[in-house]
Each structure stands twice: as structure tokens, then as C-alpha cells.
Amino acid sequence: MRWALLLFVLLSPQLFAAEQGIPALTLTTETDGTENYSVTLQILALMTMLTFLPAIVMMMTSFTRIIVVFAILRQALGLQQTPSNQILVGLALFLTLFIMTPVLDRINQEAVQPYLNEELTTLEALESASRPLHSFMLMNTRENDLDLFMRISDTPAVEAPEDIPLTVLVPAFATSELKTAFQIGFMLFIPFLVIDLVVASVLMAMGMMMLSPVIISLPFKIMLFVLVDGWAMVVGTLAASFGI
């Protein structure tokens, strides 16, 4: 214990001197008037942004539409826990990555690589990275949803759609995605609902009112879904709805 205390006393001046030599918050003004922050502050901002990564994935990508459609499909089939939530979320994440690959490639070319090559400052890189996401969300957002949030936020009219702020575009995009997901889910629900109605009518005609129609209709719904290659149709429809 005494040796550890002696070692700490001997090394403490060097440790404090090293800490004093690290610039924590440094703002540098470039020759062209732009401002650049120290690496320490950039790392702090990056770590802070990582906490918003789940929200960014859910609200600014195709994830919302995909996971809602999968949840409605499972409910339509009458399967409460199969496939499990982990499988649906995993499939939705990889399908989201597949759909968002062109957008991610643009972000890498226009923002990440120039920033790594020190051609862009941190703020310029963030602005460049937001443009592909802005274009993707704008392409998949309904005009009435945009008008709704523009009116609620008292945002003045913009000259071009590209000038719409993200604070307006993101909630409009999320609302539009939910509406589209419910429309696709409704179309998926119809054939399974017809099977439930037919089975319930047959059981009523046979006097088997105490037998649950779900027990009889579930095998037929699964068989129909497998025969028409349902998963491929659903995944293909979702990808095509984003223009893939």
C-alpha cells in the first residue's frame, strides 16, 4: 500500500502536466472565415450524436414502414409470438440497410471521405451528410403532411423543397411513413380476414359455435401465405415502395 502511495505521489505531477497540455475546448477561425473545433470537442459531439442513433434510424430511414408492416402481417396471420420481435427487428434492420445503401453511399462520398481528407470542416461535413437524407425523406413524404407541419410550426414558405428545415421534414416524413405502412398492412389483412370469415361461417352452419375459428383458420392462413411465397412478396413490395 505504501509503495502504491509513493508511486502515485511521484507520478502525479507528470499526470497533471499532461492533462494541462490537452486542449479541451478550442475554437479556431480559418482564413476563409469558417470556424473549426478542437478534436476533443468533436469527439464529444460525436459521442453525443451516437445517443440519437436509434431515433435517427427509426425516424429518418425506411425502418418505420418496414417494422410496422411486419407487425401488422404477424397480427393478420394470427401468430402472436412467431416470428419473434428479435427476428422481425433484425430483418427490418437489414432490409433498411439494403434500401438505404444508395443514400449511405452518397453520404460517404459527399461528407465522410472529404472530412477524412480534411477537405471539409465538421459543420460542413454534417451539412453535406444531411443532404442525401433530406432528399430521401422529401421523396417519400406526402405534400399534405408537409403542409400540416409547416402550418403548425409557422414556418414561412420556402422557394424550393430542398430548403425545408429538418425540424419540419422529419415529423412529416414519420407521419407519412406510418400512413403508408397502415395502407400496406390493410391490403395484407384482407385475404386473411376473408379466410377467418369463411371458417367462422362454416363453423356456425355446422353448429360448432364453441370451437374457436382461429384454431381452424390458422393452418389455412399459413398454407396460403407459404403457397404464394408471402415473405418474398412482402419484402419485394416494401422495397419497391421506396423506388428500389
Nearest CA to 172 among 209, 205, 207, 138?
138
List C-alpha distances in Å: 190 to 51, 75, 195, 213, 227. 40, 12, 9, 17, 17
**How is residue 54 written as a grid cell?**
436509434
**β-strand partners of 29:** 35
Between 2 and 110, residue with greater pLDDT = 110
pLDDT band at 81 (very low <50, low <70, confident <90, very high): confident
The one-letter code for the residue type at 101 is: T
pLDDT at 175 over 80: yes
Mean pLDDT along residues 128-155: 86
**Whether the Cβ atoms of residue 70 and residue 88 lie closer than 8 Å to each other:** yes
**Helix ranges restricted to H, the chain:** 2-20, 39-50, 53-59, 63-77, 85-99, 101-107, 113-116, 122-139, 143-152, 166-205, 213-227, 230-241
Nearest CA to 115 among 107, 125, 102?
125
**Whether the Cβ atoms of residue 176 and residue 61 lie closer than 8 Å to each other:** no
pLDDT band at 8 (very low <50, low <70, confident <90, very high): very low
Helix (H, G, I), strand (E, B) or coil at 214: helix
What integer best gives the mean pLDDT of the chain?
A: 77
Note the pLDDT of residue 49. 67
Cα 234 to Cα 192: distance, rounded to the nearest angstrom:
14
Note the pLDDT of residue 12. 43
Cα 111 to Cα 130: distance, rounded to the nearest angstrom:
9
Note the pLDDT of residue 241. 85
| pTM score | 0.74
pLDDT band at 45 (very low <50, low <70, confident <90, very high): low
CA dihedral (83, 84, 88, 93) positive or negative: negative
